[in-house]
Amino acid sequence: MATCSTKSFVQRLPCNSTTTTTTISFLTNNIYKSSYVCPLRPLRSTNRVVVEAQSRPTWLPGLDPPLYLDGSLPGDFGFDPLGLGEDPESLKWYVQAELVHARFAMAGIAGILFTDLLRTTGISKLPVWYEAGATKFDFASTKTLLVVQLLLMGFVETKRYMDFVNPGSQAESPFFGIEASFQGLEPGYPGGPVLNPLGLAKDIKNAHHWKLKEIKNGRLAMVAMLGIFVQASVTHASPIENLVQHLSDPWHNTIIQILSGSSS
């Protein structure tokens, strides 16, 4: 390339792989031409961007997730075939709704399996889980228990919704005076000594790993609950009873034989 002392200029043609450089000197009236290989940096940069985009796990490999699901949410694998989360405010509420259903499903699975294990082993005479609601108690009638449950659940869900609308407000203006013991750092993740006795994920902003574990286990529990519902409707038996029946004759007591027998 010519220097400023010779008042020369360099003309570079559009580059593919090899580019010719023409240098003209006004002092000597000579024209010099040289060739060089153009570096392919843009191609390397483009390949890197594609690899980074493909490295994000999605519910269906090779599928481009929606733009509003950018992977920042715990357990976001780009699954929203109905487009329910296009509105940002609706997406926040759906996240909380999924979280609550996941926790109920995990608690329900644990309760069903634990009580069913006690019943099938003869340790306790508990009813099967789908008949537990019809059990009569001496200390209260069914109507009384229903009213109490509606009041308690209604109060808790109302407080949860109000905390979602105005985060932290329920601990600042308590109703019973004990709400501060359940105060968390963001909506949907209550803490305190009661709901977080082990002190896990105190730094909720950097607790993505714990959030991901919870939502994965919660989704698995929701699918398991659906399976238990269908299983009880088809076999009229509890999960432990179905498992024992299957293990007694694994080749003949399967879902295929059960479905074929129920259809016939």
pLDDT at 180: 66
Instruction: Report residue 202's pLDDT band, with 50, 70 and 90 as the boundaries.
Output: confident
Q: What percent of the chain has pLDDT over 90?
A: 35
Q: What is the mean pLDDT of residues 225-243?
A: 91
- DSSP for 69-95, please give it: --S-STT--S--TT-TTSSHHHHHHHH
Q: What percent of the chain has pLDDT over 70?
A: 72
Highest mean pLDDT: which range of 99-103, 133-137, 192-196, 243-247: 99-103
Q: How many CA atoms lie within 13 A of 262 on its CB side?
A: 14
- Which has the closest alpha carbon to 110: 264, 258, 221, 233? 221
Q: What does pLDDT average to over the chain?
A: 78
Q: Over the stretch 19-35, which tens digit does the pLDDT of each residue have?
A: 444 444 444 444 444 44
CB 11 within 8 A of CB 32: no
pLDDT at position 214 over 90: yes
pLDDT at 171: 66
- The two tokens of residue 129 are 């889980």
Helix/strand/coil for 187: coil
- The two tokens of residue 244 are 């024992």
pLDDT at 36: 47
Instruction: Report residue 197's pLDDT band, with 50, 70 and 90 as the boundaries.
Output: confident
Which residues is 31 bridged to in the sheet?
24
pLDDT at position 126 over 70: yes
CA-based Rg of the chain, rounded to a whole angstrom?
32
- Lowest-confidence segment of 12-21, 107-116, 239-248 by average pLDDT: 12-21
Q: Over the stretch 64-90, which tens digit does the pLDDT of each residue have?
A: 899 999 988 999 999 999 999 999 999
- The two tokens of residue 127 are 């009813």
pLDDT at 111: 95
Does the model's pTM come out above 0.85? no
pLDDT at 153: 92
